[in-house]
């Protein structure tokens, strides 16, 4: 199919809801189990010439940019890449806190991002369409560009009715 990137979830110990936090995600055995499976996936990726993209998410084992870089280092494969969604880097934050968290994450993962997401959050933690919440997308995109990122920016979690406005908003920034 000539697909250059397959995105993966790094998993959760929450058997009831893959999008909800579980305290066992931070147990070292969760990391070890995930890393063992990631090694298998990377062998397949190497064999087929594709990259694997992992997305730091609060409900997963890889929750932060630092975790993602740790995993890349441990795996030792150039095939492991990052999908960066600023809204998944925090649960609740005001605009200043969000800007700081996202800025630090972009700096941390510089050179490893293959795909960026444009999803937003309200300060109370609810997800929002890009441009409606606390994520400073102008800053996020400028920082990504400054690291040399020129990959796709994909928005999701919005209705068809919202899509034209979000497309206009993002187009002005890129």
The model's pTM is 0.93
So where are the chain's domains? 5-173
| CATH number of the 5-173 domain | 3.20.20.150
Which SS3 state, helix, strand or coil, does residue 6 take?
strand
Closest CA to 135 of 81, 96, 166: 96
- Tell me the pLDDT tens digit for each residue of 120-158: 999 999 999 999 999 999 999 999 999 999 999 999 989
Q: Report which secondary-structure segment, H or E, holds 134.
A: none
* Structure confidence at residue 20 (pLDDT): 85
- Tell me the pLDDT tens digit for each residue of 53-93: 999 999 999 999 999 999 999 999 999 999 999 999 999 99
């Amino acid at each position: 199919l000539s697909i250059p990137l397959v995105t993966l979830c790094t998993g959760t110990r929450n058997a009831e809801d893959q999008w909800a936090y579980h305290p066992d995600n931070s147990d070292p055995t969760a990391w070890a189990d995930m890393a063992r499976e990631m090694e298998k996936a990377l062998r397949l990726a190497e064999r087929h010439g594709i990259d694997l993209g992992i997305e730091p998410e609060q409900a997963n084992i890889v929750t932060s940019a630092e975790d993602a870089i740790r995993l890349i280092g441990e795996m030792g494969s150039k095939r492991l890449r990052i999908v960066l969604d600023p809204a998944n880097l925090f649960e609740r934050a005001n605009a200043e806190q969000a800007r700081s968290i996202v800025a630090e994450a972009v700096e941390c993962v510089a050179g490893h991002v293959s795909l960026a997401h444009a999803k937003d959050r309200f300060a109370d933690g609810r997800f929002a369409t890009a441009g409606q919440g606390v994520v400073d997308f102008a800053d996020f995109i400028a920082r990504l560009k400054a690291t040399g990122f020129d990959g796709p920016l994909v928005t999701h979690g919005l209705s068809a009715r919202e899509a034209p406005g979000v497309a206009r908003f993002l187009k002005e920034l890129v």
